[in-house]
Amino acid sequence: MSSVLPEYEEKVLELTGLMRKLSTRIVLFQQNAAHSLGVIHTDLKTADILNEKGPVTAGELARLTGLTTGTVTALIDRLEQAGFVRREKDPHDGRRVIIVPVKEKQSEIRALYRPLGNMTREVCKDYTADQLDLINTFLSRMVGVFEQANGSVSISKQEGCSCKKSGTGRNESQ
């Protein structure tokens, strides 16, 4: 017995499949980019978040990444050692420490992504401004979906995980 999906449902399935493929390719690209900078994937993406958000506290960074505060502390240590961030006293509350992205290192990250940005611009030439607005709206909404989903599957909330974790967030058995 074959079931025929309406065209809309077929398009949604096709889109989710393409998003999964894109996500995999993005992760692989980011892992290679991180390796070329001498850091791990999670560290590079956290540096990206800091570049996007600006200075934040370690607690805010834990919330943004979905990682535990202990994991974030080790991550900040690695980023600081690699020169991507520095710790500073919060100018508004001297009792707090904020994590500040180092601008000089931001240019290294941008340089890695520049060829990808150029290729993206080439693809965008095939679309009208209205079509790009639609794509941008969809992707912006999907960013929100993933931010919400990230909070529901954070490492600190996983139960029954049998993998041996290190301070890097990697599975030691792999």
- Domain interval for residue 23: 7-141
Reading the chain (174 residues) residue by residue, the pLDDT tens digits are 456 679 999 999 999 999 999 999 999 999 999 999 999 999 999 999 999 999 999 999 998 888 899 999 999 999 999 999 999 999 999 899 999 999 888 888 889 999 999 999 999 999 999 999 999 999 999 999 988 887 676 544 444 444 444 444 433 333
| Domain presence at residue 2 | no
pLDDT at site 88:
97
| Domain presence at residue 156 | no
| Domain presence at residue 54 | yes
| Domain presence at residue 104 | yes
Q: How far, in Å, CA of 74 to CA of 7, rounded?
A: 48
Host H or E run for residue 30: helix 7-37
The DSSP secondary-structure symbol of 155 reads G
pLDDT at site 3:
64
Q: What is the pTM of this model?
A: 0.71
pLDDT at site 147:
81
Look up residue 156 and give its two tokens. Answer: 């600190």
pLDDT at site 149:
84
| Domain presence at residue 14 | yes
Overall number of domains in the chain:
1
pLDDT at site 162:
45
Q: How far, in Å, CA of 2 to CA of 73, rounded?
A: 53
SS3 state of residue 165: strand
For the chain, strand residue ranges (E) read: 56-57, 85-90, 93-101
Give, rounded to a whole angstrom, the gap between the first and last alpha carbons of the chain: 42
CATH number, domain of 121, equals 1.10.10.10
8 A C-beta contact, residue 56 and residue 99: yes
Q: Which of 26, 85, 96 is nearest to 51 (CA)?
A: 85
Instruction: Give burial (CB, 10 Å; 0-12/13-18/19+) of 99.
Output: buried
pLDDT at site 113:
92
| Domain presence at residue 172 | no
pLDDT at site 148:
85
pLDDT at site 156:
45
pLDDT at site 2:
52
| Domain presence at residue 152 | no
| Domain presence at residue 1 | no
Look up residue 46 and give its two tokens. Answer: 């956290």
